[in-house]
Amino acid sequence: MGAIIEVDADYLFTHRSDRVEYLLKEFAAEPVVVQIRRGVRSMLLTAGNNFTQHESHERRRFAVWPEMINAAYHEEWVPKLEGRKYVLERVYMNAYLVQDISTVREFAALHCDLNDSEVYKVSPHLHVWIVGEPLRHAHLPLNIGHLKQVTSSVAKLTSAFKGGLKIIRHEIVRRYCEYLASA
């Protein structure tokens, strides 16, 4: 299956960071900083509240629900052989439950694996890790009925991803944190 979303290098390096900051504005508890770094075979766009020079993209986090939930966000862009074009390979947002300084549990995720052969993974899809086995590994696609449209451009995929972030924040994070507060 798979889908191809391609952008000019100029867009990736001058405008994409602003779009991701806007995407995460309603999801994050405070403004995020977006950085683009060269990976082994790709460009990684990551978001977080603080960056250290040699920190991996998986460890860059930002607050979603103060004191309880933080998240990591990254996009992987692979250069095409010809021209100054990049192809989006994946978009990942992973949320974590912070129980104390040394205990962090996987909570929920929103992923999009554009090169995957499984249609459930090509669509922006949810993982609700906090529910445990065996459902934590389920891919719950959000846009399978109009996948071609959603994956036709980076703007449309970003819009679909924003909808998924709203679901996570309002239906999973908020309800879980309210449940904990009332328990």
> Rounded CA gap, 139 and 123, in Å?
9
Comparing 44-53, 91-100, 117-126, the range with the smallest average pLDDT is: 44-53
Query: Is this structure's pTM higher than 0.85?
Result: yes
Are the C-beta atoms of residues 66 and 53 closer than 8 Å to each other?
A: no
pLDDT in tens, 73-95: 999 999 998 778 999 999 999 99
Burial bucket for residue 164 (CB in 10 Å: 0-12, 13-18, 19+): buried
The residue-averaged pLDDT of 104-125 equals 93
* Per-residue pLDDT band at 155 (split at 50, 70, 90): very high
Output the pLDDT for position 58.
Answer: 62
Classify strands 43-48 and 33-38 as parallel, antiparallel or unpaired.
antiparallel
Q: Where are the domains of the chain?
A: 6-182
**Which of 1-5, 48-52, 158-162 is the most confident on average?**
158-162
* Per-residue pLDDT band at 2 (split at 50, 70, 90): confident
